[in-house]
């Protein structure tokens, strides 16, 4: 598996029509490493800045997504974000049934956050 630890984020693209997020990074050998999230439902990035350094991207259970984002979900429920739902329990069930994954992006510096997507791949660009 290709490592992303200590990679610098060069750029990222969010394509809402294709449901894809592409994060372009470089490792210490200046190799281009691409992180792709496919079938993205939504995401939340914070602290975007030049020279952002990744620490890791981990997949967590949907219960963790609900637990750590409950305040945000309650505040945005009436705006149908991230989807239309009546209760937090209903949202959790819809996300699980939809086979979404909760990917948490942690950094040593700069950009961090999370992505709800069905798949994530990491590949080295040649």
Q: How far is CA 98 from CA 13, 17, 51, 62, in A?
A: 24, 18, 35, 11
DSSP 6-66: TPEEEEEEEETTTTEEEEEEE-TT--EEEEEEEEEEEEEEE---TT-EEEEEEEE-HHHHH
Q: What pLDDT digit, counting tens, does each position of 13-54 carry?
A: 999 999 999 999 999 999 999 999 999 999 999 999 999 999
What residue segments make up the domains of the chain, in order of their start?
8-124
29's tokens: 């050998």
- Does residue 64 have a pLDDT over 80? yes
- Does residue 11 have a pLDDT over 90? yes
Q: Is the pTM of this model over 0.85?
A: yes
């Amino acid at each position: 598996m290709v490592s992303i630890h200590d990679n610098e984020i060069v750029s990222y693209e969010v394509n809402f029509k294709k449901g894809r997020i592409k994060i372009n990074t470089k490792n210490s050998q200046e190799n281009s490493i691409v992180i792709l999230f496919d079938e993205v439902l939504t995401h939340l990035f914070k602290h975007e800045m030049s020279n952002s350094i990744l620490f890791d991207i981990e997949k967590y259970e949907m219960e963790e997504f609900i637990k750590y984002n409950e305040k945000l979900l309650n505040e945005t429920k009436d705006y149908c974000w991230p989807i239309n739902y009546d209760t937090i329990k209903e949202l959790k069930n819809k996300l699980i049934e939809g086979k979404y994954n909760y990917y948490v992006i942690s950094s040593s510096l700069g950009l961090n956050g999370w992505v709800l997507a069905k798949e994530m791949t990491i590949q080295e660009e040649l």
